[in-house]
Amino acid sequence: MDVSGRIIFQTEIKNDRRLNQFSLQKLPKGVYTLISKSENEFFFNKIVIQ
């Protein structure tokens, strides 16, 4: 998958169960989400690339 493109926004949010309910189907075609977490799993970085 080609993930080149501009970053629309980046949010850092506390780790909670709502992240597990994040649906990729809500994203438009051609938009991808990268979710990474810190080692202690306290913060998540959610980056949307279009």
pLDDT in tens, 8-21: 555 554 544 555 45
Is residue 1 one of the residues assigned to a domain? no
Judge whether 34 lies within some domain: yes
User: Residue 2 falls within a domain, yes or no?
Assistant: no
Three-class DSSP category at 40: coil
Backbone φ, ψ for residue 49 (5° rounding)? -115, 130
Per the structure, how many domains does the chain have?
A: 1
Residue 31 sits in which domain range?
7-49
Mean pLDDT within 17-35? 58
pTM: 0.25
- 3-class state of residue 24 by DSSP: helix
In a domain, 16, yes or no: yes
User: What pLDDT shows up at residue 15?
Assistant: 47
- Give the pLDDT band of residue 34 (cuts 50, 70, 90): low
In a domain, 17, yes or no: yes
In a domain, 14, yes or no: yes
